[in-house]
Amino acid sequence: MLIKRNGSQASSIGPVENFSGHARRDPIHTAPEPSRLAAGQVTFDPAARTVWHTHPVGQLLIITSGCGRVGTWDGDIQEVKAGDTVWFEAGEKHWHGAGPDTAMSHIAVTEVVDGSAVDWLEPVSDDQYTTN
């Protein structure tokens, strides 16, 4: 059994290569092998979002506060609110972030494959963020 105490893991700012706008990351847990589980909290200021990206075996988002948006490469954009969950399929190109005027926080749950849980791609343009 392993307990990680609140206050034992530092927050960090999402790097500009992977996030547009201000996003704060608070690690929750990266499990030791043979588990591949990795979970973290991300809090997006209004209009902040990830760049486009994929996950090798998918990703679960649990929206924990606020109102945000998620988008997929086919152009679909959905509003998400606290209590919603979102599943992205393995390799599905997508982004997630705040609403234009509202912050959003989620827990992201992924699995690490060959040392990586995410493949980062290009930024989400303002048109891609706002246009369905």
Question: Which positions touch Mn ion (CB under 5 A)?
Answer: 59
Q: State which residue, 20 or 59, has the beta carbon closest to Mn ion.
A: 59
**Using an 8 Å Cβ cutoff, are 14 and 25 in contact?**
yes
Please give the Cα distance from 29 to 43 (Å, whole number). 16
Q: Would you give the end-to-end CA distance of the chain in angstroms?
A: 46
Helix ranges (H only) for the chain are 126-130
Query: What are the angstrom distances between the C-alpha of 39 and each of 117, 129, 130, 131?
Result: 10, 25, 28, 30
For the bound state, the minimum distance from the C-beta of residue 34 to Mn ion, rounded and expressed in Å, comes to 23
Q: State which residue, 19 or 103, has the beta carbon closest to Mn ion.
A: 19
Q: State which residue, 7 or 81, has the beta carbon closest to Mn ion.
A: 81
Please give the Cα distance from 123 to 80 (Å, whole number). 20
Q: State which residue, 6 or 114, has the beta carbon closest to Mn ion.
A: 114
In single-letter form, the type of residue at position 22 comes to H
